[in-house]
Amino acid sequence: MTNITAGMKRLIAALKRGQSSDGSWNYPFETGISTDAYMIILLRTLEMHDEKLIQGLAARILSKQEENGAWKLFRDEQDGNANATLEAYYGLLYSGYIEKEDPRMKAAGNFIREHGGLESANVITKIMLSTTGQYPWPESFPIPVEIMLLPLSFPFNFYQFSVYGRVNLAPILILTEKKFSIKTENSPDLSDLLLTRARWDIQPEYRSFLSFIKEGVEDLLGLPEQLHSLAMDRAKDYMLERIEPDGTFYSYFSSTFLMIFALLSLGYSKDEPVIKNAVAGLKSLRTDIDGLPHIQYANSSIWNTSLINTALQLAGVSPDDPAVRKANTYLLMRQHDQLGDWAIHNPHGKPGGWGFSDVNTLNPDVDDTTASLRAIARSVEDSSEYQDAWDRGIQWLVSMQNDDGGWPSFERNTENPWLAFLPIEKGKYMFGDPASADLTGRTLEFLGNYTNLPAADPLIKNAVNWLLDHQEQDGSWYGRWGICYIYGTWASVTGLVAAGHSNHPSVRKACGWLKKIQNEDGGWGESCLSDSQNSYVPLNASTLTDTAWAVDALIAAEDQPNEQIQKGIQYLLNSIEKEDWTTAYPKGQAMAGSFYIHYHSYRYIFPLMTLAHYRGKFGE
């Protein structure tokens, strides 16, 4: 077998070279072309003509077009993605750098029409189209703005949505109530993509749902005219009170984009500081990939930095190494010290978590908190500052466990059967934050391997039971934030092993499933189709990240380096410097069927962790 230590040294060197002067790592968080198209549309609509950026974004979008005129979300998506193609087409036309008669645009237009035209767009895209004057607003939206006024005791209220859902929903409620639209003299004409002239409307069976909410508000609070104005103010205040230091609304692209238009609909001038700061915040999300600009959906520097710092230390880099010390200092400075929306469902919890992004001060999450705690773990004994951060982080983490024993991402106990009635596609992704196998498994792994919490503690036992109850029939687990079943199985197996259950039948079954899906070349690879099909779909090619996850799970659960582990390790060592489509294939997801993430850091992080675990357990 090729020398493991030599392979690790190459990965360590590559990671150290990528560290920024402030101690962080800023590998791109690449999310397709949607944000690039939206940025062009935003800048053109506001008549903020940053030509260099717009031209660069248009060039990037064009570089991703398929031969049939479509755009794809991932390589093996059949034919193309109609929604992404529509967004790309609109953004390119509005850029002014390509004509409608260009053969590439004609092919894109034909693809859009063949797949249902504007009418087939998803709800967020339709809102963008309506806001920019390209599509008629519906008579009513599935959720009325009055939901802002319903108390927490009401069976369906604004805070039953996940924070990810709320931050997009608040501006949407304003926009749909105002039926706001804004065009410029340079707005493209997309009318040839409107096939039926039908209004975007909601189905009759949901009108009773709307009535239920409106009547609930009126019964509780009084006259509808006064309530409407109060609800609009509440939605506006929700946005303005959650603007981060960089001007973004909760540090997300989509919520900030929508907030800008919502504020314009309320009479704000595009020259007001809140609008200018928001645009500047979105511009700050720019990264460059292959010489072209990309607007990231969010900055991922906390996630990158915590994972990389942990991987380096697992691989033998000392906690006193300058790279580790700088990274830990960076992380300590970004631990949260104020209450956020998470406290609504966790009123006794105290701040102490970490968020995903460099500028995130309001929205900690369980994943980034366990990742950051792992990163600082080896420095805690020698420093009261680290000890305090450690104690606050663990206190917050433990307080976030759901009553069902699992861990959510952002807020505890938000699962609500009412969400199933929402007439919005992907509603469970937009609005729900239930416990997931990846969050629960990784939290269990952290508590089992990095703390002194006994396996008999109810906290551990309840999490173990949650995982056992949510295993798939084939032995895998579904991972919410990654692709998908390999990811969830890795997190669950490593968590269960850390809790002392390496010989449990569920773990053995999971290992059997992983061995069964190994590729001939020794690697593993899973398609993004898995999440929308709700079952494992092979990629028919191996990737570094999938292989690292699968082998890491097997290393944790097996006593000996069996043939499958050996072949997987050999694949990693042979592929460390590989550069092809598999290294750019998305390994993260946020919304099945529409939002996939290529983390540029993963190809280094997870192979290094896996090689370190192999060497630590089995030697060279």
Q: What is the pLDDT of residues 443-497, one digit of tens each?
A: 999 999 999 999 999 999 999 999 999 999 999 999 999 999 999 999 999 999 9
Residue 380 is assigned to a structural domain of this protein? yes
* Spatial separation of the C-alpha atoms in residues 593 and 117, rounded to whole Å: 18
Residue 440 domain flag? no
SS3 403: coil
pLDDT of residue 469: 98
Asked whether residue 377 is domain-assigned, the answer is yes
Q: What percent of the chain has pLDDT over 70?
A: 92
102 is annotated as an active-site residue: no
Q: Helix, strand or coil for residue 542?
A: strand
**535-544 tens-digit pLDDT:** 999 999 999 9
Q: Are residues 365 and 263 in the same domain?
A: no
What average pLDDT does range 513-533 have in this prediction? Answer: 97
Question: Do 284 and 387 reside in the same domain of the chain?
Answer: no
pLDDT in tens, 48-102: 999 999 999 999 999 999 999 999 999 999 999 999 999 999 999 999 999 999 9
Interval 495-509 mean pLDDT: 98
Query: Mean pLDDT, to the nearest integer, of 330-358?
Result: 97
Q: Which residues pair with 482 in a beta bridge?
A: 588
> What domain range is 50 assigned to?
29-295
Give the contacts of 577 (CB within 8 A, at least 6 positions apart): 10
Whether 18 is covered by a domain: the verdict is no
Give the pLDDT confidence score for residue 422 in this predicted structure: 63
State how far the Cα of 594 lies from the Cα of 590, in Å rounded to an integer: 8
Q: Which of 452, 493, 443, 498 is nearest to 471 (CA)?
A: 493
Domain end call among 249, 268, 295? 295
In this model, does residue 43 exceed pLDDT 50?
yes
Computed on alpha carbons and rounded to an integer, the radius of gyration of the chain in Å comes to 24
| Helix (H/G/I), strand (E/B), else coil: 197 | coil
Residues 320 and 543: their CA atoms lie apart, in Å, by 33
Q: Are 475 and 512 in contact (CB under 8 A)?
A: yes
Same domain, 162 and 253: yes
Percent of the chain whose predicted confidence (pLDDT) is above 90: 84
Give the separation between CA 137 and CA 126, rounded to whole angstroms: 9
DSSP annotation string for 49-84: --HHHHHHHHHHHHHT--TTS---SSTTSSS--HHH
Q: What is the per-residue pLDDT for 224?
A: 67
Asked whether 162 and 99 are in contact (CB, 8 A), the reply is: no
272 and 141, same domain (yes or no): yes
Report how far residue 514's alpha carbon sits from residue 483's, in angstroms, rounded to the nearest whole number: 14
Using the predicted structure, report yes or no on whether residue 209 has a pLDDT greater than 90.
Answer: no
Task: Point out the domain boundary residue: 398, 413, 438.
Answer: 398
Beta bridge partners of 311: none
Rank 90-104, 116-130, 590-604 by mean pLDDT and report only the highest.
Answer: 90-104
Using 50, 70 and 90 to split pLDDT, how confident is the model at 154? confident
∠ Cα 506 404 422 (to 5°): 110
Average pLDDT for 497-516: 98
CA–CA dist 493, 515 (Å, integer): 13
The pLDDT, as a whole number, for residue 207 is: 56
Maximal CA-CA distance, the chain: 76
User: pLDDT value at position 15?
Assistant: 98
For residue 295, the model assigns a pLDDT of 99
Q: Which of 156-160, 568-572, 581-585, 594-598 has the lowest mean pLDDT?
A: 156-160
217 and 136, same domain (yes or no)? yes
Beta bridge partners of 249: 243
Per the residue annotation, which of 367, 404, 433, 531 is the catalytic one?
Answer: 367
Same domain, 277 and 392: no
- Alpha carbon distance 551, 493 (integer Å): 11
User: Is residue 324 predicted with pLDDT exceeding 90?
Assistant: yes
Beta bridge partners of 29: 599
User: According to the model, what pLDDT value does residue 165 have?
Assistant: 87
Indicate the residue among 295, 324, 341 that finishes a domain: 295
Determine the 3-state secondary structure of 255 from DSSP.
helix
pLDDT attached to residue 178: 96
Angle at which helix 34-45 crosses helix 51-63, to 10 degrees, equals: 150
pLDDT at 205 over 50: no
* pLDDT of amino acid 418: 65
Per-residue pLDDT, 282: 99
Average per-residue pLDDT in the chain? 93
Per-residue confidence band for 155, with pLDDT thresholds at 50, 70 and 90 = confident
> Phi and psi of 442, rounded to 5°?
-70, -35
Number of domains in the chain: 2
What residue ranges in 445-549 does DSSP mark as E strands? 524-526, 538-543
